Amino acid sequence: MDAEDRSNIDHSDVDHERLDSLRRGHGAIPEHVIDEFVAGRLSRREFLHRASAVGLGLPLAGAIVRATEGGKASARSRRTVSPSRERASSGGTIRAGIIVPAGAINPITIDDQGGQEVMSQVGEYLVLTDQKLNYRPWLATSWKPNSDGSVWTFKIRQGVKFNDGTPMTVDDVVYSFKTQCDPKSASNALSIFGGTLDPAGVVKVDDETVAFHLESPDGGFVDAISCDNYNMIVVPNGYDYSDYQKQFVGTGHFMKTSYTPSVGATFVRNPYYWGTAAKSDKVQLTFYAEESAKSAALQSGAIDCLDTFSVTNSPQLLDGSYNVISLPASTHRELSMRCDLSPFTSNYVRQAIAYTLDRPEIVKALFKGHAEIGNDSPFAPVFKSTVAPPAVPQRKQDLKKAKELLAKGGVPRGFKTPLLTEILEEMPDFAEIVKASAAKIGVDISLTIETTSKYYGTAVFGKSDWLDGKMSLVDYGARAVPNVYLEAPLQTINAKTGAGAWNAARFNNSTYDKLSKQFVAAVDLATQRSIAKKIEDLLLDETPIIYAYFYDYLCATLKNVKGVYPTAIGMLFLWNATKS
C-alpha cells in the first residue's frame, strides 16, 4: 500500500468548525464522500476525484483538504489550471496530424478517435474530464446528485452561443440528450445510456437547470455526460444530425472553414466564443491512415503535433527530440471471442487462449515500460476500485494448462478460427503475437487486418467486422471510471434499451449483469471494491474477452510547441496551443 492509499489525517489538526461549515448542505452522497476522506478511507487523490464526480468542485474540495490540516496549505497542493482558462495570446496556425476518421462526422454515429478529435474542435460538453481524471465545469457550471444517485441536476452556463451566433439554451441541452439516449436514434452513446437514461428522464427544470432521472442509480453518472462520452456535444434544439459534416455546429473555440474526407480539415477562431479566445488563429488537421506516415510528418516538421503514437511503431519519438506527453490510463485492447459460436461456447476454450499469452513480455516488447499487464477484466490499475493481485490471482502464461483446457472444452487437437482487427498503432503486432501464441497449443488463427473504417463498418450488429467477428481485437480509449467497459461490451444485449451495444463476444450472463449494475450504482469506494472483486473473479472464469494490457496514452509535439492538451480517451484540445 503506497503513501497515497490513505489520507493520514491528524484529527488534532482538523479545523472542525470550518469543516462542518464546508460539509453542510451538499446532500447525502457528497457528504458521505467527505466523511470517507476525513475517516482516512480515501487518499487525497481519491477524494479529489470522487469530490469532482459528485459535484463538490475542486476549489471546495481543496478547502476541505485544508480544513483537515488546520487551515494550513497542504504541501501536496498545486494550482491546477483548466485548459480553457489559461491567458490567451494571438497568432499562428497549429498543424496537427491525427488518425483518419473512420466515417462521417456525426455526433450520433461517431465511434472512433479520429472522428472525435475532429468534432471536439468545434463541439463542447457539459463537463470536462481532465488529464488527472477529475471533472471540471464546462457547459455545466455545477452538478449535484440526490441521496441515492438516481437523479442528477446540472446548472447550465448562461451567455453561451453556437458558432453561428445563436444563443445556447437549456432546450438545446435537453434535445441533445433526449436524442442521444433514444434507442430509436441508434446512437453510439447508447453504449453508455442504455439501461441508465431514456428520453423521458431528461427534464428541463427551468431556464438554467436540467435534471437527469435515471432508470437505475448511478454513483458516477457525471462521467456519462462528460467528454468521456464523446458523442455528447450540445447541438441546437431540433437539429438534423445528418447535416453535421456540412455545418459543424458547436459552441467551441473554433469553427470549420473546410473539411475534406480522408484528407483533412481547417478551423478558425469562433468569434462568438463565450470564454477566453483560442490562442492560435487557425488549426489545420491532416489525416493519416497509418501511424508511420504521421510520425514521419512530425519528424520532418510538416506538422507541429500528433494526436498519439505507439512505442512499437514510433520509438524514435522517445529519443528526447520531442515534447512527449505521457498519461497513465485505462486505454486497452479487447480480444473478444464469440460465446455463441463453437468452440468458444466453452469457457474452457476461451480460458485456454488467454493462458497462451506471456503478458509481461508483451508489455515489454510493445510498450517498453509505458503499460501495465491486464488480468482479463476491464479493471485497469489506474482505477481506484480495482482489486489487484494477490486478492485476485494474476493470470499467467501456462501452455500445459491451456492444452488441458482445450481438451476439457472438446477440442483436444485444436481448431481453426478467424481473427479480425484494425490497422492502428501496435494492434497488428499484438494480433500476430496472439496468432503465434495460440499456435503453440494447436489453434490455427487466420488474421484479417483492416482499415478502421472497414473494420468498424456501421458499428451495429450484422454490419460490422468489429462486432460480428468470431474473434475480434478492438481498441478502447481511456475512461475516468470503468462503467462503460462494464456495460457496453459485457452486459447482455438488449435492443430495446441499448444495453450491450458493443457486446462483440455475445456474452450473456445474468449474474454478471446484476453485479455490473450494482457496481455502477455504488456511491462509495469500499462497496465498489467489494463488487469489483466478484466481477473480476467471474470474468476470470468466463473469459469472454481477453484484456492483456493497459497502456499509457502518448502524444508528441515539436520542441517549440506548447499548450497542446490531449486526454487519455483520445481528445486533442488545441485552443491553448502556441509555437515559438
pLDDT-based confidence at 146, cuts 50/70/90? Answer: very high
Question: How confident is the prediction for the chain on average, in pLDDT?
Answer: 90
Determine the average pLDDT of the residues in 261-286.
Answer: 97
Q: Which pLDDT score is estimated for 405? A: 98
pLDDT-based confidence at 142, cuts 50/70/90? Answer: very high
Percent of all residues in the chain with a pLDDT value above 90, rounded to a whole number: 75
Helix (H, G, I), strand (E, B) or coil at 188: coil
Q: Is the pLDDT of residue 540 over 70?
A: yes
Q: What is the DSSP string of 459-515?
A: SSTTS-HHHH-SEEEEEE---SSSHHHHHTTTSPPBTTTTBTTT-TT----HHHHHH
Determine the average pLDDT of the residues in 12-29.
Answer: 67
- Low-confidence winner among 25-39, 82-96, 140-154 (lowest mean pLDDT): 82-96
Determine the average pLDDT of the residues in 451-475.
Answer: 95
How many other CB atoms are found less than 10 A from the CB of residue 441? 20
Burial class of residue 508, CB neighbours in 10 A (0-12, 13-18, 19+): middle
pLDDT-based confidence at 12, cuts 50/70/90? Answer: low
Q: Which pLDDT score is estimated for 73? A: 43
Q: β-strand 140-145 against 135-137: which pairing, if any?
A: unpaired
Question: Considering Cα of 143, then 576, then 97, then 308, what sign does the dihedral take?
Answer: negative
pLDDT in tens, 373-413: 999 999 999 998 999 999 999 999 999 999 999 999 999 99
Q: Is the pLDDT of residue 284 over 90?
A: yes
Say how far residue 142 (Cα) sits from the centre of its chain: 21
pLDDT in tens, 405-441: 999 999 999 999 999 999 988 999 999 999 999 999 9
Q: Is the pLDDT of residue 271 over 60?
A: yes
pLDDT-based confidence at 260, cuts 50/70/90? Answer: very high
Q: Of the spans 3-17, 67-81, 109-123, which averages the highest pLDDT?
A: 109-123
Q: Is the pLDDT of residue 576 over 70?
A: yes
Q: Which pLDDT score is estimated for 75? A: 39
Determine the average pLDDT of the residues in 123-152.
Answer: 95
Q: What is the DSSP string of 538-573?
A: HHHHH-SEE--EEEEEEEEE-TTEE--EE-TTS-EE
Q: Which pLDDT score is estimated for 85? A: 42
Q: Which pLDDT score is estimated for 39? A: 65
What Å distances lie between residue 491 and 184, 488, 516, 541, 550, CA to CA?
20, 6, 8, 16, 21
Q: Which pLDDT score is estimated for 69? A: 74
Helix (H, G, I), strand (E, B) or coil at 336: strand
Q: Of the spans 15-19, 57-61, 244-248, which averages the highest pLDDT?
A: 244-248
The larger pLDDT score, comparing residue 41 to residue 472, is at 472
Q: Is the pLDDT of residue 40 over 80?
A: no
Q: Which pLDDT score is estimated for 66? A: 77
Q: Is the pLDDT of residue 89 over 80?
A: no
- Low-confidence winner among 144-148, 205-209, 319-323 (lowest mean pLDDT): 144-148
Q: Is the pLDDT of residue 343 over 70?
A: yes
pLDDT in tens, 495-514: 888 889 999 999 999 999 99
pTM (predicted TM-score): 0.76
Determine the average pLDDT of the residues in 446-453.
Answer: 95
Q: Is the pLDDT of residue 249 over 90?
A: yes
Percent of all residues in the chain with a pLDDT value above 70, rounded to a whole number: 91
DSSP 418: E
Q: Which pLDDT score is estimated for 61? A: 77
Burial class of residue 273, CB neighbours in 10 A (0-12, 13-18, 19+): buried
Q: Which pLDDT score is estimated for 5? A: 43
pLDDT-based confidence at 263, cuts 50/70/90? Answer: very high
Q: Which pLDDT score is estimated for 70? A: 63
| 3-state helix vs strand vs coil in the chain, percent to 5 | 30, 20, 50
Comparing C-alpha atoms, which of 468, 507, 460 is closest to residue 487?
A: 507
Q: β-strand 135-137 against 127-129: which pairing, if any?
A: antiparallel
* CA–CA gap between residue 103 and residue 114 (Å, rounded): 9
Q: At a CB cut-off of 8 Å and minimum separation 6, what does 536 contact? A: 375, 377, 379, 387, 392
Q: β-strand 578-579 against 561-562: which pairing, if any?
A: antiparallel
For residue 314, report the phi and psi dihedrals to the nearest 5 degrees.
-135, 55
Q: Is the pLDDT of residue 80 over 50?
A: no
Q: Side chain identity at 551, as an amino acid letter?
A: Y
- What domains appear along the chain, each with residue ranges and CATH number? 3-67 (no CATH), 86-321+558-580 (3.40.190.10), 328-552 (3.10.105.10)
